[in-house]
Amino acid sequence: MAQRTSSRRKTLIILAGLVLLSGLLRAFVLQPYIIPTPSMEPTLMPGDRILVNRLAYQFWAPNRGDIVVFAFPLDPKRTFVKRIIALEGETVELRDNQVFIDGRALQEPYLKPGDYPPYAPQTIPKGKVLVLGDNRNRSGDSREWGLLEKSYLIGKSWLIYYPFNRMRTL
């Protein structure tokens, strides 16, 4: 009888520890988001559910190609998801439906084809990045509201976890 009670106590302690650990992960490391718009098609579809690593930019610098969640600069209560295209110190230009970084064409196999307006050459200042949607024709992004302060970055998209047939790391 005493052994059975001890076994139940151990099981409860383990379960409580798992609940606590998952709560801490949810609060400080991994945060779920739902993709509401087609601005990141075909990479992320409306209704996709993603997990975002909130610690990523506490320890590492953002990189070109990262899919990021950030506070929208014009209304920080809202969050957006876009791809980092240009980093501080780089000169970026959009012309002929192509992105150029420091004069070299950027290869973007994830990009949804289409025509989009040019963006005059601009050197990205310290502390900022240029973010664009993969579906450039249906994306409100840096072309519209300006460069993104790195301090607005919430985290790096890590995983599509739903729908299950689209589950994959990003």
Check pLDDT > 80 for residue 28: no
Q: Do 168 and 117 meet the contact criterion of CB atoms below 8 Å apart?
A: no
Sign of CA dihedral 41, 45, 50, 54: positive
- The pLDDT of 59-84, averaged and rounded, is 97
Check pLDDT > 90 for residue 44: yes
Catalytic residue status for 82? yes
| Catalytic residue, candidates 6, 39, 77, 156 | 39
Going by C-alpha positions, the residue among 102, 104, 105, 151 that lies closest to residue 126 is 151
Mean pLDDT (the chain) is: 90
User: Regarding predicted confidence, which is higher, 4 or 152?
Assistant: 152
Instruction: Note the pLDDT of residue 27.
Output: 52
Distance of CA 7 to the CA centre of its chain: 43
d(CA 98, CA 105): 7
| Residue 77 in tokens | 């209560």
Model-wide pTM > 0.75: yes
The predicted-structure confidence for 76-94, as pLDDT tens digits, reads as follows 999 999 999 999 999 999 9
CATH number 2.10.109.10 is the correct assignment for the domain at 29-169: yes
Which of the four pLDDT bands, split at 50, 70 and 90, describes residue 113?
confident
Instruction: Note the pLDDT of residue 22.
Output: 53
| Catalytic residue, candidates 7, 82, 112, 150 | 82
Catalytic residue status for 156? no
Above pLDDT 90, what percent of the chain? 79
CA dihedral 59, 44, 84, 115 (to 10 degrees): 180
